[in-house]
């Protein structure tokens, strides 16, 4: 069946596709200015308090809440943390080759969506800064919808496809997470596991499988 809907992840696909995870990018400018503060922030968000990071991804807290807590805890200022967070996001290196491929599919009349487990600054700062709306018809971020892709065995992607009047078999979902890929595949959605080994073969795979 011909492809009508193209859905892609962000972290690990559009961003950070050759790194481990988003921890490398956030607040990266603090590392040289104040290594101790940088380590404290990473430990606060990704260490023993990792539940805070997941609450941030679900939109239960936002960066204003966290910067208030961190400023008090680490003797710094909310303004400094805001500046460093926004600056680090603007330094993200995106996968422009894939974005341009996605735009070419959009130009063919295929709807393009982004579905990402992401933090509150994603919609507020990152999307407008990189003009991602030029590449995607709709962008779904977990912090806006208070749900993660893996919740209830991938219920979110199933709902998005249905609510937008598409069928699973005419949808392609790209993600770097094996659990997300399995959940989508179990629902009859075409899937592509995107990683260091497969990233250069996506277009070829799409045409070989007669999706376009």
pLDDT along the chain (212 residues), means of 10: 94 74 79 92 85 92 95 96 94 93 95 96 95 97 96 96 97 96 97 92 92 87
Q: What per-residue confidence (pLDDT) applies to 159?
A: 97
Give pLDDT, residue 47: 83
Q: What is the pLDDT of residue 25?
A: 81
Closest-CA residue to 108 (of 132, 137, 133): 137
Query: Is the whole-model pTM more than 0.95?
Result: no
Q: State the pLDDT at residue 21.
A: 56
Count Cα atoms within 13 angstroms, Cβ side, for 50.
Answer: 4
Residue 212 has what pLDDT?
87
């Amino acid at each position: 069946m011909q492809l009508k809907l193209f859905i892609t992840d962000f972290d690990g696909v559009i961003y950070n596709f050759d790194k481990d995870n988003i921890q490398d990018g956030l607040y990266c400018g603090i590392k040289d200015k104040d290594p101790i503060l940088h380590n404290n922030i990473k430990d606060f968000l990704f260490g023993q308090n990792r539940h805070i990071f997941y609450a941030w991804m679900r939109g239960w807290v936002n960066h204003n809440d966290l910067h208030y807590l961190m400023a008090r805890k680490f003797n710094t200022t909310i303004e400094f943390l805001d500046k460093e967070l926004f600056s680090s996001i603007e330094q993200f290196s995106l996968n422009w080759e894939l974005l341009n491929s996605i735009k070419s599919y959009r130009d063919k009349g295929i709807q393009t969506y982004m579905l990402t487990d992401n933090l509150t600054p994603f919609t507020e700062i990152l999307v407008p800064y990189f003009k991602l709306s030029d590449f995607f018809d709709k962008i779904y971020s977990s912090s806006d919808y208070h749900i993660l892709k893996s919740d209830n065995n991938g219920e979110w992607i199933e709902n998005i496809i249905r609510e937008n009047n598409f069928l699973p078999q005419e949808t392609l979902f790209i993600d770097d997470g094996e659990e997300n890929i399995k959940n989508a595949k179990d629902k009859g959605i075409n899937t592509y596991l995107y990683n260091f080994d497969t990233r250069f073969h996506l277009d070829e795979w799409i045409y070989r499988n007669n999706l376009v």
